Amino acid sequence: MNRRRFCKTTLAASMAALYPFMAGCEKKGTVATQANTSIRGISLGGAEIELEKAAIRELGDAMTGPVMLSGHPDYDGARKIWNGMHDKHPALIARCQNTEDICHAVDFARERNLLLAVRGGGHSWPGKSTCDDGMMLDLADMKNVDIDAAGQSAWCQGGALLGHLDDATLARGLVTTAGVVSHTGVGGFTLGGGFGRLNRKYGLTIDNVLGAEIVTADGTVRQVSADNEPDLFWAIRGGGGNFGVVSKFQFQLHSFDRNVLSGMLVWPIEQAREVLEFYAEWSPTVSRELYVGPVMATMPDGTQIVAMEVVYNGDPTQGEKELAPLRAIGTMMVDDVKVQDYKVTQTKEDAMTAHGIRSYAKNGMVKEFTQDLVDDMIDAFIPDPRAAIFTHTAGGAVKDHGELDTAFPHRNAETMLVFFTGWTDPDQDAEGKAMCKQWHAALENHTGGYYDNIEWEGDASVVGNYGPNYARLSKIKGQYDAGNLFRMNSNIKPT
């Protein structure tokens, strides 16, 4: 028996628990030591369970990456996720470094009926990537992106951030649709749909997924694509983390000149009617190259604005022509739309959405940007620097797919209205949440369905929001995760 295999045996694991620094089997940072022989865990159903230290050590020895308990020097950093509202303490954090590690962690959780949270980039608004007393399966070390330039595709590990994906592709003159903040995780972002500034030309991120490697609840590694386990492939394109842990995605890439016409056009809020009324008429006529969407916000100094975010994915001269009618509206405070590196645009919101912010979000899909919507947007405006409405413009290639083609069903929307509140003082939690709900409620009648990835309360209405796709999702869930091990998400119940 080789030394590594020996370390995996129960006998060796028990000995290692007794002698935590046993020469030869100890791996730096595997497990924090405590005097007692078990720690408290929580089951999938919420009951208290005991986790044997020896078994945890066995997991640590089997994995390449560390398993961290409270007291480990990296535990506190690892347990934190983006939204400062969630201060959870998992019983253990399994930081995976490869697919085999994921299998070991999934087996450990399933065999003990242990609550399991999977952390990709940690940006879940409702905090689904962490938990108290369960396992956090942490993919933060799995962030490689391998580019096949000739084949115009990329294999991207499940813990990579959008910035890793953009950096790797842009360096080769290639790109795929990625979201607007570079520290967001590729994992949760892609599994939910993936809206970004290039989606009108290239479709949602899920429309660019060619395949994936996924570890399902039984610990099996599966390669899924249109030809291989097509039902599972369909389900992970919009069904969130319900079906397993994606260790890597394969993305379609597109040739791309990173010098793009992009930036913001900003007007004082007093001109909101003129700007938005024009937008309502003009936006359905623009090309797929043009991504343009409104923002309404209050700056930290109290200045209230209506703005348009612009990215033109094509010849800048043509872009200038197409943008000219919008630029002619009213009197702008700022026009910084110019040819600049796409990476500048893709990172410009990183600082204002930095880790640790306390935040709440809701959204709604809008089929038509009507004059009635404009009226209500103006009436409902909340002049508070902690609140903003922005939009994820859709249409174009997003509509090339039908509502049944992928698990994400909301294909016929022209835009998504996003209601965002953010603050830092915990005493403002109730107010921050209420403000977001109030703004959303005022405009909800213009929306139909929502994008689960930017929604705190998604779990409550998951059945209706998937519309005709829910029954199929539930059946596939039953096939691959009948015990509902992967439940820390907007949960699809297995049938």
Ligand X SMILES: Cc1cc2nc3c(=O)[nH]c(=O)nc-3n(C[C@H](O)[C@H](O)[C@H](O)COP(=O)(O)OP(=O)(O)OC[C@H]3O[C@@H](n4cnc5c(N)ncnc54)[C@H](O)[C@@H]3O)c2cc1C
Identified binder of ligand X from the candidate list 31, 55, 118, 492, rule CB under 6 A: 118
Residue 458 interacts with ligand X (CB under 6 A): yes or no = no
Compute the least distance from the CB of residue 142 to ligand X, in Å: 8
The sign one gets for the Cα dihedral 406, 407, 408, 410 is positive
List strand residue ranges (DSSP E) for 173-258, in order.
Answer: 174-175, 209-215, 221-225, 245-252, 254-255
The least distance separating ligand X from the CB of residue 390, rounded to whole angstroms, comes to 10
And the tokens for 342? 């796409």
Rounded to a whole number of angstroms, the minimum distance from the CB of residue 299 to ligand X is 19
Give the residue from 279, 284, 454 showing the smallest Cα distance to 367.
284
Closest CB 353 distance from ligand X, rounded Å: 4
- Comparison of 58 and 481: residue with beta carbon closer to ligand X: 481
Binding segment for ligand X among 16-24, 36-44, 117-125, 307-315 (CB under 6 A)? Answer: 117-125
CB 38 within 8 A of CB 53: yes
The residue whose two tokens read 């389900």 is 235
Instruction: Please report which helix (H) or strand (E) contains residue 108, including its range.
Output: helix 99-112
Residues with Cβ within 8 Å of 184's Cβ and at least 6 positions away in sequence, in order, are 121, 123, 161, 162
Enumerate residues 194-223 that contact ligand X by CB under 6 A: 194-196
- The maximal CA–CA distance of the chain, rounded, in angstroms, is 78
122 makes contact with ligand X (CB under 6 A): yes
Q: What distance in Å separates the CA atoms of residue 244 and residue 221, rounded to the nearest whole number? A: 10
- List the one residue from 60, 90, 188, 238 that touches ligand X (CB under 6 A): 188
What tokens does 201 get? 């030309």
Q: Considering only 16-24, 116-124, 270-278, 464-472, which stretch makes contact with ligand X by CB under 6 A?
A: 116-124
User: Which of 41, 60, 90, 121: binder of ligand X (CB under 6 A)?
Assistant: 121
Q: Say what the alpha-carbon torsion angle 103, 92, 477, 216 is, to the nearest 10 degrees.
A: 0
The residue count for binding ligand X (CB under 6 A) is: 37
Stretch that binds ligand X, among 70-78, 119-127, 284-292, 440-448 (CB under 6 A): 119-127
Q: How far is the CB of 90 from ligand X (least distance, A)?
A: 13
Q: By CB under 6 A, name the one of 49, 260, 276, 454 that touches ligand X.
A: 454
Q: Candidates 65, 66, 90, 241: give the one binding ligand X (CB under 6 A).
A: 241
Residue in 173, 200, 169, 202 with CA at minimum distance from that of residue 186: 169
Should residue 86 be labelled a site residue for ligand X when binding is judged by CB under 6 A?
no
Q: How far is the CB of 158 from ligand X (least distance, A)?
A: 3
Beta strands in 336-468 (DSSP E): 338-341, 358-366, 387-393, 415-423
Place of tokens 């909101």: 272
Cα–Cα dist 237/203, whole Å: 12
Residue 480 as a binder of ligand X (CB under 6 A): the answer is: no
Q: Is 95 in the site for ligand X (CB under 6 A)?
A: no
Q: Specify the residue, 60 or 194, whose C-beta has the smaller distance to ligand X.
A: 194
Q: Which of residues 145-184 bind ligand X (CB under 6 A)?
A: 158, 179-181, 184
Stated as kind and residue range, the H or E segment containing 292 is strand 290-298
Q: Which residue, among 223, 182, 189, has the nearest Cα to 204 in the 3D structure? A: 189
Residue 191 lies near ligand X (rule: CB under 6 A): yes
Q: Which is nearer to ligand X, 25 or 205 (CB)?
A: 205
Instruction: Give the nearest distance from C-beta 480 to ligand X in angstroms.
Output: 12
- Give the binding site for ligand X (CB under 6 A): 81-82, 118-125, 128-129, 139, 158, 179-181, 184-185, 187-189, 191-196, 240-241, 245-246, 353, 453-454, 488-489
